[in-house]
Amino acid sequence: MDEVIADFLLKHLKIYNENFNEALSIADLQGTRLWNFRPHIAKEILTYLDDPTFFSDLRVIDDSQEVIRELHKHYEIFIATAAMKHPASFTAKYEWLKEHFPFLSDAHFVFCGDKSIIRADYLIDDNPKNLKRFIGQGILFTAPYNIHETGYVRVNNWKEVSAYFLNEKNTTKSL
């Protein structure tokens, strides 16, 4: 969800810049995370996520709605999100999905921690840690912090996801 369909970083950076009167941009965070870039205040930066509304108004990542709507015709789509580290986020995440992806059934939402519990043919994820224990085909979705990761099938945006899946339509795969 975060960094794949929901623009977590943009909001996080905005709150950080406001609170610390800085003007950090995504360009400053290539290959790293905000909390690693400012390790002395990492704990404080992470508390932003405990605000139950933090996840309410994240921008939708470009083209994700259109591509998932199209994929949905050919694949069984689940949205799995690592929500357990921030239990305050449950309701906001659920409502965000209902708002922006109304064509998906909530029976296909999965709030989890360790994604090794996911059984699917493909997993599109920004976090290599999640892909490592996944037994299907992992696909790394580019996010600023993961640009130096190698050894994964990588997609840079949803147009590339579309090309990856819709060039070889297959109605029985789940995503």
Binding site residues, a second copy, CB under 8 A? 78, 80, 83-85, 87, 90-91, 94-95, 105-114, 116-120, 135, 174
φ, ψ (nearest 5 deg) of residue 137: -85, 110
Nearer to a second copy, 34 or 79 (CB): 79
Name the residue nearer to a second copy (CB basis): 37 or 94: 94
- Return d(Cα 106, Cα 103) in angstroms, integer: 9
Q: Smallest gap, in angstroms, from Cβ of residue 174 to a second copy?
A: 8
- Contacts of residue 16, defined as CB under 8 A and 6 or more positions apart, other chains included, come to 22, 24, 34, 38, 45, 48
CB-wise, 136 or 157, nearer to a second copy? 136
CB of 57 to a second copy, least distance (A): 18
17 vs 105, beta carbon nearer a second copy = 105
What pairing do the DSSP bridges indicate for beta strands 6-7 and 59-60?
antiparallel
175, 68 contact by CB (below 8 A): no
Nearest to 164 by CA among 101, 74, 85: 74
Min separation Cβ 113 and a second copy, Å: 3
- In the bound complex, what is the minimum distance in angstroms from residue 135's beta carbon to a second copy? 7
